[in-house]
Structure 1
């Protein structure tokens, strides 16, 4: 169903919190009818169980999920199962492997990307920030193939694209390609990877990335796996650039940023304060091997922390599930968010901070005029959905019914 007017009846919405003394002990809900027209929520009315429309059967309505770090162009999804090889231990090992395999992967990448998007839909995701390779091996073909797949899925998925020189800027002479792709309207962010360990310099590649972002009105989203001094210095460099150039504030991100997970408590606080002041966000795949990111400290200082799946059946990791509700569940488990209120707040990591109730329990979503980007979940409230990773019954994107359990 594409952009037709219709009604969802028997829809469960959260309406507030129940308190005992000062503690939230449960979430209040009620049934409603939701009118959808031209890709938006047109009306929210008390439930009429005998009204004509699609019966939600009391399922909970939540905002559709947003995967803020993925690689739709480069994965093994749709190919025979293959676990990670122990022979490839470093990023440079992976670069050499990709140089060998990318020509083969590109032959089927459009169809496999579409298949992966369908898989993400089944978990309630209707938006992704996807990195795409820019390198001498693939040229711009990774982008072109990804764009083709996204055109085919335009009615069911929205995306932001990050130009990603995975094989290094200097290491494989990717500068000219990056300059070319930075001018393209379809590209939203300029990326990079481990400038010190891959390119041998923090300043040289980051000066180029920053200037391309400024010259072309793009954001920055840098992969940074480096721990220790080089990792901290790289984050500090981007903070300084965002402070010097206010147009980068709120548009600059460090993906992974594992260095932040290996600092003292006082240094973590200092870095969180600086990130917040510069409007530099952190994007995390949570969890990652032995690194536990200081997400509570970052959020306490107002740092935007975005969450994504990153690897979904690829040569880097065997553990990406594609399930953003699972990511919210993992965050709650890692940081001990177990109360009704805490679990309901943890849902924000799956929805990019769109929540049905504000922190005090006032209803704030959905409202008439909001985009009809929604999921129906087999749960009684947000807290239960996070705790139990409740099944997704349906996904609607811009009013289009994308996925529905049969």
Structure 2
């Protein structure tokens, strides 16, 4: 283990400490014409952490002689990463490698397969969830929005086992939970279980999946979901893979329901929303404007096998776009590394965001829209009072971190620093 590894670990439980030699971004550097950003300005800082929060920032050597010092060795500090769509409850991570069986072609094939394997998976799902969280943290992720199955086969055991995993981590990872009727709300009679889950304080969102594709009942499913969310003061996060007129109708009807119930604005999300990637530009612009007005966010795993999501258009219209790994080695997808920085890198490649400025903005998809610099190049993070949620990476700036998927050297959650790689 390296010197920084030892030092970080020795301070892992400290409430108050100082990190010296931290590289922070301070602004953009323009070319001679002043029209193009060609570099990012940085400087070495000291960062004081007290009771899990950033207390102050300063340069120079003054105030860095105390015993509780961590030497960051010039590594770049970035906001900790957030995975905004993942399934921690039914990963195959920790089991022998297996790729997806492409013979299961329909959603009903997958539901039948889950009904077959879930009883066995539940026996070890707590341990494997812990292992998957360890993997995600090694890539700098300290927060996740995770879905857990609610269906007659799982009952509420997926939630119970996932909650055990989170409890076993003793608060070193934060998650918000989404009750997810993977097998349909009515197709497998999951409504009663969803009502039970919705009453739990630990559950933050009511989920859903393809109201048409699974239940063949767009309005019935969305009316039920909206009512359940309102009755229990929850948010909504709907998986939507349906395309065509049914997919579009689902988006439009959810917008209508949110506009009728303003308390859901800013608290409603559509995950995937693949239909948006197949709309003509005029229709897409109309829907994007409506999504922004209703404050409905889009959460994407950034698919690209024949479908590129219109993320630039959504952002241009003011739609909140979040990203997640979704499947990390499970029976739905062969891919998913657990790295949010890799997701940001993939987006930069897909959308041609190759300039210093664009790459720096792309970091937002790894951090849940927290950036060190504003669009105008003003320092915005970290600041006194911010939660001490950060990563130290081997990069000179955000743009390089995204372009090269910079190695994560350490991460901090609630101020507690953990070493991940040799410095």
CA deviations on 1:220-260 (whole Å, 9 max, x unpaired) are: 00001011110000011110011010000001111000000
Once the 2 structures are TM-superposed, how far is the Cα of residue 209 of structure 1 from its aligned partner? 0.5
Aligned pair 1:45/2:61, yes or no?
A: no
Aligned pair 1:108/2:121, yes or no?
A: no
Name structure 1 gaps, 5 residues minimum. none
- Cα separation, 2, equivalents of 1:261 and 1:172: 30
- Cα separation, 2, equivalents of 1:314 and 1:335: 27
Once the 2 structures are TM-superposed, how far is the Cα of residue 80 of structure 1 from its aligned partner? 0.7
- Cα separation, 1, equivalents of 2:292 and 2:14: 39
Match 1:73 to one of 72, 89, 109: 89
What is the match of residue 7 of structure 1? 18
Aligned pair 1:287/2:298, yes or no?
A: no
Conserved? CA contact 1:32–1:48, under 8 Å: no
What is the match of residue 379 of structure 1? 395
Once the 2 structures are TM-superposed, how far is the Cα of residue 2 of structure 1 from its aligned partner? 2.4
What is the match of residue 293 of structure 2? 277
Once the 2 structures are TM-superposed, how far is the Cα of residue 8 of structure 1 from its aligned partner? 0.7
What is the match of residue 25 of structure 1? 38
- Cα separation, 2, equivalents of 1:383 and 1:90: 40
What is the match of residue 374 of structure 2? 358
Aligned pair 1:179/2:184, yes or no?
A: no
What is the match of residue 236 of structure 2? 220
CA deviations on 1:69-101 (whole Å, 9 max, x unpaired) are: 000001101111111002111111111010000
Name structure 2 gaps, 5 residues minimum. 1-11
Conserved? CA contact 1:156–1:402, under 8 Å: no
Instruction: Provide the aligned length of Structure 1 versus Structure 2.
Output: 406
Aligned pair 1:126/2:139, yes or no?
A: no
Aligned residue for 1:289, secondary structure, equals coil
TM (norm. structure 2) is 0.94
What is the match of residue 3 of structure 2? none
TM (norm. structure 1) is 0.98
- Cα separation, 2, equivalents of 1:84 and 1:261: 24
- Cα separation, 1, equivalents of 2:412 and 2:256: 41
Conserved? CA contact 1:9–1:47, under 8 Å: no
- Cα separation, 1, equivalents of 2:384 and 2:310: 36
Q: Which is worse superposed, 279-288 or 295-304?
A: 279-288
- Cα separation, 2, equivalents of 1:112 and 1:75: 7
- Cα separation, 1, equivalents of 2:339 and 2:153: 31
Q: Which is worse superposed, 149-158 or 332-341?
A: 149-158
Instruction: Specify whether residues 256 and 99 from structure 1 end up closer, same or farther in structure 2 by C-alpha distance, changes over 3 A only.
Output: same
Conserved? CA contact 1:169–1:199, under 8 Å: yes
Conserved? CA contact 1:3–1:398, under 8 Å: no
